[in-house]
């Protein structure tokens, strides 16, 4: 029954996505849904794009092992990113009427900065999308009781997401997000009511977590504890702001006010709802301590699916896996689309200036296919956890793309030379420490890279200018 529902749900999602593809007539429709989305849909896309593999399985398993302190990057950093983006970046971005965030780097600086920042941002999506594909493989493996292996499940899931994303672009993503958010929220809230009863009630679970120290958030008052903590928080809070998926949600809104409100409300909703899978995963350790303690040691990402399959009725299982599929598919499609659009618009378009808009749209769709294939290879060969795959992706955008973006918007003296100095300093400091730095250092390499990028921007902008805006 569960497998039949999953197949039906996947087919329905593809059908909705392909139906939405009829509204795509040009690159603006494909990338930004024609800048026509109302507030409820913008909130849904902001929430659903981020509420994916790491939120349902990654954050929950990390919380069970490390407590709130272990999930400072996501949801604390990531939700603050959406709120900050809505309050400070959305108004400026929306007025500029750009297709991608990469366009900003070209208009403010030059083509070189555009290409370098675009490549860094595109690279950051590899781990994020790989995490979504890994969960699709895990879900299909679980619901088929092992008949479909996780690698085969990844391939099947990737092909399904690729189908409607390639044809429908942002229209498919937005419409499916709006449909899927009701499945996600309703499904997980229903599961919570079932599981809380098995665990002795909500208060019992929260009380046990508090006594076990899982609700302690701030670290000890030492530099060795606070510096890595701040580094993890900042990585997603600031490193996510230059991301194309955040930019797409802002600029797909029907007007500036909708863009601001949608980003802020979507961020708040995301933060609040991430505690639901955390609660479910921790409740599992109370319901069946022996089984779930061993799972934590083997593969913590299986705690939540195993809890649902072993301790809830069939209807609850159908609801849960429907919610998981909704979360992962909506997240995967959006994060597959974003880098593909950037790569086409900000790198390939400059190499193929003779393309008209319809030809560029075809190129975008081809790039979506190519990017999906590359990410699938990474997912099939990666042993990293879902949570770590997601968190690590934002290090490169933090050290390379954030400072040129922020300075370009808010510092009138920022120059092209400053942006290039920031890129070089941030990347060299980060990579140098990642590859050759001491393993016991309390300073996260990406935090040092951020400081180096800021220094590079200031020094490069204030020194005599040797690089022109169009140089």
Residues 409/248/98/357 CA torsion (nearest 10 deg): 160
- The pLDDT tens digits for 55-109 are 777 788 889 889 999 999 888 999 999 999 999 998 998 888 888 899 999 999 9
383 by DSSP, 3-state: which?
Answer: coil
Q: How confident is the model at residue 427 (pLDDT cuts 50, 70, 90)?
A: very high
428 burial (CB, 10 Å; 0-12 / 13-18 / 19+) is: middle
Give yes or no for a contact between 242 and 397, defined as CB atoms under 8 angstroms apart: yes
Token pair for 128: 């994020």
Q: What is the mean pLDDT of residues 21-46?
A: 81
pTM, full prediction? 0.85
Phi first, then psi: what are they for 324, rounded to 5°? Answer: -65, -45
Residue indicated by tokens 């809890």: 307
Q: Given a cut of 50, is residue 471 above it in pLDDT?
A: no
Better-predicted residue by pLDDT, 51 or 468? 51
The span from the CA of 234 to the CA of 430, in Å, is 14
Lowest mean pLDDT among 12-21, 34-43, 361-370, 395-404: 12-21
Q: What is the mean pLDDT of residues 165-182?
A: 77
Q: Given a cut of 80, is residue 420 above it in pLDDT?
A: yes
DSSP structure string for 292-320:
HHHHHHHHGGGHHHHHHHHHS-HHHHHHH
- The pLDDT tens digits for 209-237 are 999 999 999 998 899 999 999 999 999 89
Lowest mean pLDDT among 207-211, 223-227, 315-319, 455-459: 315-319
In Å, how far are 151, 176, 211, 212 from 67, measured between CA atoms? 30, 32, 11, 9
What is the reported pLDDT for 97?
84
Q: Given a cut of 50, is residue 336 above it in pLDDT?
A: yes
The span from the CA of 164 to the CA of 330, in Å, is 11
What is the reported pLDDT for 102?
93
DSSP structure string for 262-299:
HHHHHHHHHHHHTHHHHHHHHHHHHHSHHHHHHHHHHH
Q: Which residues of 280-311 are buried (b: 16+ CB within 10 A; e: fewer)?
A: bbbbbbbbbeebbeebbeeebbbbbbbbbbeb
Q: How confident is the model at residue 458 (pLDDT cuts 50, 70, 90)?
A: very high
DSSP annotation of 464? P
What is the reported pLDDT for 373?
93
Counting every residue written for the chain, the total comes to 471
Ranked by mean pLDDT, which of 188-197, 211-220, 310-319 comes out on top?
A: 211-220
* Alpha carbon distance, N-terminus to C-terminus of the chain: 62
Whole-number average pLDDT of the chain: 86
Cis peptide before 203 (omega within 30 of 0): no
The span from the CA of 324 to the CA of 322, in Å, is 5
The span from the CA of 131 to the CA of 152, in Å, is 15
Q: Return the axis-axis angle of helices 256-273 and 275-287, rounded to nearest 10°.
A: 10
What is the reported pLDDT for 310?
83
């Amino acid at each position: 029954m569960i497998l039949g529902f999953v197949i039906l749900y996947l087919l329905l999602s593809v059908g909705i996505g392909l139906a939405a593809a009829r509204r795509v007539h040009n690159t603006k429709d494909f990338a930004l849904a024609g800048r026509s989305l109302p507030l409820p849909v913008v909130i849904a896309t902001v929430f659903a794009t981020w509420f994916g593999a790491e939120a349902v399985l990654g954050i929950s398993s990390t919380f069970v092992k490390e407590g709130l302190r272990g999930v400072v990057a996501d949801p604390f950093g990531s939700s603050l990113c959406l709120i900050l983006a809505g309050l400070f970046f959305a108004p400026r971005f929306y007025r500029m009427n750009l297709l991608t965030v990469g366009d900003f780097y070209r208009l403010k600086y030059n083509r070189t900065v555009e290409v370098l920042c675009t490549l860094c941002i595109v690279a950051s999506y590899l781990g994020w999308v790989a995490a979504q594909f890994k969960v699709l493989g895990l879900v299909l493996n679980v619901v088929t009781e092992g008949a479909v292996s996780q690698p085969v499940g990844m391939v099947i899931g990737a092909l399904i997401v690729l189908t409607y994303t390639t044809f429908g672009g942002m229209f498919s993503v937005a419409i499916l997000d709006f449909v899927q958010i009701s499945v996600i929220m309703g499904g997980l809230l229903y599961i919570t009511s079932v599981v809380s009863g098995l665990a002795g009630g909500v208060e019992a679970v929260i009380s046990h977590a508090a006594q076990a120290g899982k609700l302690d958030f701030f670290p000890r008052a030492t530099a060795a504890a606070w510096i890595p903590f701040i580094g993890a928080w900042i990585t997603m809070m600031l490193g996510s702001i230059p991301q194309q998926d955040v930019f797409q949600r802002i600029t797909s809104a029907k007007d500036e006010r909708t863009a601001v409100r949608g980003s802020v409300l979507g961020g708040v909703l995301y933060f609040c709802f991430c505690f639901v899978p955390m609660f479910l995963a921790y409740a599992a350790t109370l319901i069946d301590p022996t089984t779930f303690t061993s799972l934590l040691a083997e593969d913590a990402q299986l705690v939540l699916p195993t809890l649902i399959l072993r301790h809830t009725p069939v209807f609850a299982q159908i609801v849960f896996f429907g919610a998981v599929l909704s979360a992962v598919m909506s997240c995967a499609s959006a994060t597959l689309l974003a880098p593909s659009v950037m790569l086409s618009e900000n790198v390939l378009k400059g190499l193929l200036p003779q393309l008209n808009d319809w030809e560029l749209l075809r190129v975008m769709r081809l790039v979506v296919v190519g990017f999906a294939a590359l990410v699938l290879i990474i997912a099939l060969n990666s042993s990293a956890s879902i949570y770590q795959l997601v968190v690590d992706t934002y290090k490169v955008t933090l050290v390379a793309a954030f400072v040129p973006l922020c300075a370009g918007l808010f510092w009138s003296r920022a120059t092209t030379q400053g942006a290039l100095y920031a890129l070089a300093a941030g990347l060299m400091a980060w990579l140098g420490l990642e590859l050759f730095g001491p393993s016991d250092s309390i300073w996260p390499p990406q935090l040092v890279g951020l400081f180096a990028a800021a220094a590079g921007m200031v020094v490069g902008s204030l020194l005599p200018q040797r690089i022109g805006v169009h140089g």
